[in-house]
Amino acid sequence: MVKDRIINSSISFAKAEIRYNTYREQLVKTLLITLERRHHVLSTREGFKDVTFIANHYSPRPLWDYLHSHHAIYDRWVHDCLGINPVDVTLLYTGADIDNLAVRSETNNDLTVCCLVTAGARGNVQRAGVDIAGAPRVGYQEDIDPGTVNIILLCSRALSDGAMARAIISTTEAKTAAFQDLMIKSTYTPQNQATGTGTDNTIIIGGEGIALDSSGGHTKLGELISKVTRKAVIEALVKQDNMDLSAYSTLKE
């Protein structure tokens, strides 16, 4: 068994690690973030939830056909394997390898934002507002893994519900900027610039102290969120999809 490893999240109240386990003889991996106390978070998969744990779970391609028809069984197994009650965790799933995780942080005075991203963009990349649900993928090969961008964003300061909701916009815009910077095209309409994949998800976690009530682009918080997310998404895509950044010499940090 591969040994679990600790990840530096740069956020004092959160401990991050990657756990490795085996399911049906396949290596599965979970990014697990343990919070010092219960926090109010926002997940695009589960909505607002009060939790002590945040998780992003990876299962490899050989399991996918099985999981499509046994997801409830597998979901229970993941929680049991982690030793966590479902009410205490918000969980994401991905086909992007957790070992290709990107971790970035940005700080301004007493405000720190950390972004942890897994990402792949080779199989189900879309242009929002243009591509049609269920449309065939142009030139798609079965051995190409579908993509997913999972973003976990931690802020050192507490956030109002509105600030968490607005942070979803800031992270999404930054993700799309990363796709534009890397010139990623839609797999459904390859003449078009992609904006994301059809399975992307985001979790926002606020921290301590008096809650910040805005995270838009004209705020310092919004600026940090956008910067850190863009950098982390680019790094994760480069790692997962083996991109050669020398082709993007004008790409700026």
Query: Where are the domains positioned within the chain?
Result: 5-242
Q: What is the CATH number of domain 5-242?
A: 3.60.70
pTM of the predicted model as reported, rounded to 2 decimal places: 0.95
Band (pLDDT 50/70/90 cuts) for residue 123 is confident
Band (pLDDT 50/70/90 cuts) for residue 71 is very high
Band (pLDDT 50/70/90 cuts) for residue 253 is low
Band (pLDDT 50/70/90 cuts) for residue 246 is low
pLDDT of residue 216: 95
**Rg of the chain on CA atoms, in Å:** 18
Lowest model confidence (mean pLDDT) among 16-30, 128-142, 165-179, 186-200: 128-142
Q: What is the mean pLDDT of residues 10-16?
A: 95
